[in-house]
Structure 1
Amino acid sequence: MSARITPLRLEAFEQLPKHARRCVFWEVDPSTLPVEDHLADPEFEKEAWLSMVMLEWGSCGQMAVACEPDQADFTASASSGDEHCLGFAFYAPPRAVPRAALFPTGPVSADAVLLTTVGVESGAEGEGLTRALMAAVVGDLVRRGVRALEAFGRTAASAELTDPELVSPNLRSAIQSLGDCSADQCIIDADFLADVGFEVVAPHPYFPRMRLELEQGLGWKADVEAALEKLLVSAQLQQPVGAGASPCS
């Protein structure tokens, strides 16, 4: 079974994996909550955020869904609603991402869109599928005339931040957990960002801000898609089996 990348539509929200539906690490400022580390309905908050961004700005996500090999199309326009979700990516204008304002390496550049999340379900073909999702994000933003994509990366050294009480005040609000969302699983790995072309524009030992210029994005996208297509010819993405594989509907 192959993978097809499709822009995320609100009606496909239920297809997303459970954590992707519940994760509001980036979408909610924890300091605005009446009870620390608590949200009555994180899925509602995430869906409401997606609805708001889509209405005001447009597409803000890409989703990889399982399909038959002869249906594979990395620029497909929509999901039929009955496929398994294998991976996802979210991005938005930084003004729509409350957590972004809390990072010491902010603010995000005025000409950039913020990449918040890239995830692949356990059992999926990780590297190839993740790069295909990135290619879809880049392709979408290039078509819309966006100049750059930025992200806050998570370095290996950030694993030292295990005790919130020992974290410096300028980092505490940035990494504060929110329900089952935490910095170690909800911030993109800096090494991955570097591998796909991001460069550090605001250094930090734990959470550097990184940037991908999109002036050459179309060429980068074409290279990635060509490499992925070659990969899929020899070893098609397999439907996840066992732990970590959850149906999209």
Structure 2
Amino acid sequence: MGRQLVPLTLDNLPDLPMPCRRCVFWELDPVSADRAEKDGHAEREKEAWISAVLLEWGSCGRVVYVDEVPVGFVLFAPPAYVPGSLTFPTSPVSSDAVQLMTAALVPGYQGQGLGRVMVQTVAKDVLRRGFKAVEVFADARWKEPGCLLPAEHLLAVGFKTVRPHHRFPRLRLELRTTLSWKADVERALDQLLGAVQKDPVLRPL
């Protein structure tokens, strides 16, 4: 089984599943995001956002392929590029951290270590760019897949609460701790990323 973690670019953006491919929940402020959805321009805005981040900061995500089939992805960026986060009551993200926006892994590919590899790849990338941590706005009442990850699962894989809230706590993962995770954390990551995937299978276009 061949697996690759490829930096997200405009070329492989179509390999993200719907509706993530055109979702601009994080990429735009709420008013602009709502307007883009209503006008049918969300996918174009997503492309413009990725293009801008690539030019100014570099890769803001990874797409996971197994035997050339996309099976997962992760999106992350410095808070300055994530205006959608400013509306959260636990904002802002710390200046030494990159925001984990969202991530997903096809449930059928759990238990193969892909979750661990995804997060470790992000950790090494972000550390190399001079950041110390990853922070995320979690959903403490998570019930179904969406743009936010479940707080309970994130806490189980090593994130710590840095700004408590009854619904949207801000959690933090010190990056150096991700480089030597054990098997139990690997399994928890697979469960976390599999839990937030809406579609049972991601297929290339």
What is the alpha-carbon distance in structure 2 between the residues aligned to residue 150 and residue 189 of structure 1? 13
Q: Does 1:117 align with 2:102?
A: yes
Structure 1's unaligned 5+ residue stretches are 68-82, 160-182, 229-242
Structure with greater Cα Rg: 1
Letter in 1 for 2:74: A
What's 2:195 paired with?
none
Q: TM-score, normalised by structure 1?
A: 0.69
More RCO (CA 8 Å, sep 6+): 1
Corresponding residue pairs, total: 192
Q: Does 1:30 align with 2:9?
A: no
What is the alpha-carbon distance in structure 1 between the residues aligned to residue 182 and residue 76 of structure 2? 19
What's 1:56 paired with?
56
| SS of residue matched to 2:146 | helix
What is the alpha-carbon distance in structure 1 between the residues aligned to residue 5 and residue 92 of structure 2? 30
Cα RMSD between the aligned structures? 2.5
What's 1:195 paired with?
156
Q: TM-score, normalised by structure 2?
A: 0.82
| Aligned partners of 2:33 and 2:42 also within 8 Å | no
Deviation per residue, 1:75-130 (Å, 9 max, x gap)? xxxxxxxx211000000111111111000001111111111001113433268322
Deviation per residue, 1:11-34 (Å, 9 max, x gap)? 111222222212211112122367
Percent identity between matched residues is 41
Structure 2's unaligned 5+ residue stretches are 187-198
Q: Does 1:246 align with 2:197?
A: no
Structure 1 ranges of 4+ moved more than 4 A? 33-37
- Relative to structure 1, the CA distance from residue 224 to residue 18 in structure 2 (aligned partners, 3 Å threshold; closer, same or farther) is farther
What is the alpha-carbon distance in structure 2 between the residues aligned to residue 184 and residue 124 of structure 1? 17
Give the one of 164, 169, 180 matched to 1:208.
169
What is the alpha-carbon distance in structure 1 between the residues aligned to residue 44 and residue 181 of structure 2? 38
| SS of residue matched to 1:123 | helix
| Aligned partners of 1:131 and 1:196 also within 8 Å | no
Letter in 2 for 1:6: V
Structure 1 residue 52, shift from structure 2 partner: 0.7
Letter in 2 for 1:27: E
What is the alpha-carbon distance in structure 2 between the residues aligned to residue 152 and residue 127 of structure 1? 26
Structure 1 residue 64, shift from structure 2 partner: 0.7
What's 2:179 paired with?
221
What is the alpha-carbon distance in structure 2 between the residues aligned to residue 44 and residue 57 of structure 1? 20
